[in-house]
Amino acid sequence: MTRKKIILSVNGVRNEIEVEAKETLLETLRNRLDLTGAKLGCDQQVCGSCTVLMNDLPVSSCSVLAMDADGCEILTVEGLGAGGALHPIQQAFIEHGAFQCAYCTPGLILAVKYLLSRFPRPTEPQLRHYLAGNICRCGCHVEILQAVRSLARRAQENQL
Ligand code: FES
Ligand code: FES
């Protein structure tokens, strides 16, 4: 069997898609659904630029076969925000200048979303541990951490 029809719910939209046996989830999102937020970096589950949430858990979509995502709920950066407004994480990244080329940003934002869903007020070790799999080649890690700390502070003040 080289092709198979799968059901993929992406950002709340149900899709029936025929995928190749070796096709990755990242390829399906980018090439079949035109969702180009998640990026191909290392292609080896190391850099995190392809991070999306699959059933609420972060995965490297470069290393997940599309067939294995059959029936799953996927969230990509395009699914954040509502009514044209940015998601608070996106807003915090802008306020803190937490990117330069932004290649890593979509994956990082999903990783931050997962981190804050588990720990709304993460400790410094939690923050560093959960974002360790997302590498920024532009070296914006200081600003990225500042952005996430600001979200944690807002959570503490019940503004999120
Ligand atoms: S491209 Fe998937 S982890 Fe680097
Ligand atoms: S902003 Fe360029 S790789 Fe992170």
The residue ranges of every structural domain in the chain are: 3-79, 88-156
In the reported structure, the alpha carbon of residue 144 is separated from the centroid of ligand 2 by a whole-number distance in angstroms of 10
Residue 38: Cβ within 10 Å count: 24
- pLDDT above 80 for 78: yes
DSSP E strand stretches across the chain: 3-10, 13-20, 51-54, 57-60, 73-75
In the reported structure, the alpha carbon of residue 2 is separated from the centroid of ligand 2 by a whole-number distance in angstroms of 36
Question: Which pairs from 117-123 meet CB under 8 Å and 24+ separation?
Answer: 117/56, 120/152, 120/155, 120/160, 121/152, 121/155, 121/156, 122/148, 122/152
For the 3-79 domain, the top CATH level (class) is alpha beta
Residues in the chain: 160
Question: What is the CATH topology of the domain spanning 88-156?
Answer: DNA polymerase; domain 1 (1.10.150)
CA-wise closest residue to 115 among 103, 129, 104: 129
Q: Give the pLDDT confidence of 31-47 residue by residue, as tens digits.
A: 999 999 999 999 999 99
CA distance 5 to 46: 29
pLDDT at 126: 96
Choice from 93, 94, 136 to test ligand 2 binding pocket (greatest atom count within 8 A of CB): 136
- pLDDT above 70 for 3: yes
% of the chain surpassing 90 pLDDT: 92
CA distance 109 to 106: 5
CA distance 47 to 116: 20
pTM over 0.85: yes
Choice from 99, 109, 145 to test ligand 2 binding pocket (greatest atom count within 8 A of CB): 99
CA distance 158 to 77: 24
Q: Give the pLDDT confidence of 97-129 residue by residue, as tens digits.
A: 999 999 999 999 999 999 999 999 999 999 999
CA-wise closest residue to 37 among 113, 150, 97: 113
Phi, psi of 127 (to 5 degrees): -55, -50
Q: What atom in ligand 2 is closest to the CA of residue 98?
A: 1
- pLDDT above 60 for 160: no
Q: Is the beta carbon of 48 within 6 A of some atom in ligand 1?
A: yes
